Amino acid sequence: MTTLVLEVGLGLLMLGVFAVGLVTRGDERRIVGLLSAVGVLALAVGSFFLEASPAPARGAFVLDGLALFGKQLFLVATFIGILGSLSLPDPAFRRRAPEYYLLLLASLLGMLVLASARELILLFVAFELMSIPLYVLSGFLKREDVAVEAALKFFLVGTVSSAILAYGLSFVYGATGTTDLAGVARALAAPGPLLILGMLLVLAGFGFKIAAFPFHMWVPDTYEAASTPFVAWLSVAPKAAGFVAIFRVFLEGVGDPVALWVPIVAGLAAITMVAGNLMALPQRNSKRLLAYSGIAHIGYMLVGLAAVSASGTAMVLFYLVAYVFGNMGAFLVVESVAQAEGGSTHLDALRGLAQRSPLLALAMLLCLLSLGGIPFVAGFWAKLYVFWAAAQVGLYWLVLVGAVLTVVALFYYLILARRMYIEAPQRTGRIAVAPPLALAILICALGVVGLGVYPKPLVELTLRVANGLF
């Protein structure tokens, strides 16, 4: 029962949100947001009192180190995302708040199950439980044409990726005769053409989920059109879940032959870094810029995956934590400014932010420095560690590509910083930030600074988690 305690707790929370939504009306329905935030926070705190157990030789559902780490990350990211959503000003959103938070929690439930899945069918079902609510949430602002269009694009791409993933998993089952990851690893001693094709399709399906190039086409439009607090969460939590699933399948489920996939993953990392950074350069909308920036960061994480080592896996996990705080913080600052600027997310809306709200500008700067990999914030150690892991296995060319593109990324991050600190504001008057949104931004800023100043405990934790996979 301990293995399922988080899933059971989240299920009870969902029932509570559903019941409260039935008995409240109008603006009173905002209470479901507070209930969701408190419930997720309680689960997040409780998760740190759980102990991971070694994965058994067989079993479809486990609570090993990787599963527990992933669940803690998903819960923290969801808590921050819910805090950011509590201050959404749209009256229509407040009336439909129970549906929003129930869908968000349903997607979170899929992530929690996915983190523990060691069986291919359960993994696929968990992926769909995570993904289907996202399609609805991306079009939640249904009266806006761009939101409906972006949701439709997201849905179409998502269903295609699910079909590819299911097709690949069926090939893996056909070649190995089992859906258990431990059984798949034993059958992979002599991979045949059918199995190789299946694993390629599985990798492509995961590529859609984490938004690696060239499977990224849904990202910019969806990020621009959907509500910003949801996008802040969408940009980190589902991607982290995707990487946890990749670790399960390609490290635990493939075993020693995983080294055969290094050239493919390294090539995917290189092209994702190049495409994400270059396409971010001409953007003039903050959310689209951060969307392409996120694609580039997926490339950096794939650098660590390409190392196929305990060090590389650990550093990807560290990177995911740093990315949660840096990327969510940046999106939530954009939301704060947009609420003061009539909903505008254009880069010009950030002009003179340091004069109108020095603390908000400082939080944005810290997040941008982390995303850019500047010492000594969380993102600096994240990039340094994944590059170091790749260099340890001889992928020097990939490290060089990543280092050059990190410099390129600084250009568009500094464009944002220049607008905040050098250019004159378009409007006068201070920007008032709602308390829940301010708290979410503060958590992100503290996370970025704290991990930058003292990363050692998290590094040691991720190394212990990764060693369990090798």
pLDDT digits (tens, 9 = 90+) for 21-80: 888 876 666 788 889 999 999 999 998 888 877 766 567 788 888 889 999 999 999 999
Is residue 293 predicted with pLDDT exceeding 80? yes
Nearest 10 degrees: Cα torsion 381, 384, 385, 391? -170
Res 85: pLDDT:
87
Rg (CA), the chain: 21
For residue 66, what are its two tokens? 């990787």
Res 27: pLDDT:
64
Res 91: pLDDT:
65
Cis check: omega of the bond before 133, within 30 degrees of 0: no
Distance CA 43, CA 338 (A): 31
Res 292: pLDDT:
92
Res 113: pLDDT:
92
Of residues 396 and 95, the one with the higher pLDDT is: 396
Contacts of 117 (CB under 8 A, 6+ apart): 60, 61, 123, 126, 245, 248
Res 325: pLDDT:
94
Res 208: pLDDT:
86
- Over residues 415-439, the mean pLDDT reads 84
Is residue 188 predicted with pLDDT exceeding 70? no
Of residues 306 and 257, the one with the higher pLDDT is: 306
Res 60: pLDDT:
76
Q: Helices 120-138 and 97-116 sit at what angle, rounded to 10 degrees?
A: 160
Distance CA 184, CA 252 (A): 9
Contacts of 162 (CB under 8 A, 6+ apart): 124, 127, 128, 131, 205
Res 58: pLDDT:
63
- Under a CB-based contact definition with an 8 Å cutoff, are residues 131 and 150 in contact? no
Is residue 183 predicted with pLDDT exceeding 80? no
Angle at 70 between CA 372 and CA 453, to 5 degrees: 40
Contacts of 120 (CB under 8 A, 6+ apart): 169, 172, 173, 179, 180, 181, 184
* pTM beyond cutoff 0.75: yes
Which DSSP category does 346 fall into? B
Distance CA 75, CA 94 (A): 23
Res 270: pLDDT:
92
Give tens-digit pLDDT for 113-141.
Answer: 999 888 888 889 999 999 999 998 888 87
Is residue 1 predicted with pLDDT exceeding 60? no
The rounded mean pLDDT for the chain is: 86
Res 217: pLDDT:
81
- Over residues 343-360, the mean pLDDT reads 84
Distance CA 437, CA 85 (A): 8
Name the residue with tokens 């969902």.
Answer: 14
Q: Among 340, 339, 328, 144, which Cα is nearest to 225's?
A: 144
Contacts of 8 (CB under 8 A, 6+ apart): 1
Question: What is the residue extent of each domain of the chain?
Answer: 1-251, 255-470
Strands of 179-270, DSSP E: none
Could you tell me the pLDDT band of residue 194, with boundaries at 50, 70 and 90?
Answer: confident
Is residue 156 predicted with pLDDT exceeding 80? yes
Return the minimum-mean-pLDDT range out of 7-21, 120-134, 344-358, 446-460. Answer: 344-358
The upper half-sphere exposure of residue 240, i.e. CA atoms within 13 Å in the direction of its Cβ, equals: 35
Res 458: pLDDT:
92
Of residues 91 and 314, the one with the higher pLDDT is: 314
Distance CA 441, CA 433 (A): 10
- Alpha helices by DSSP H, listed for 235-377, are 237-247, 262-280, 286-306, 310-340, 353-356, 358-372
Distance CA 388, CA 259 (A): 18
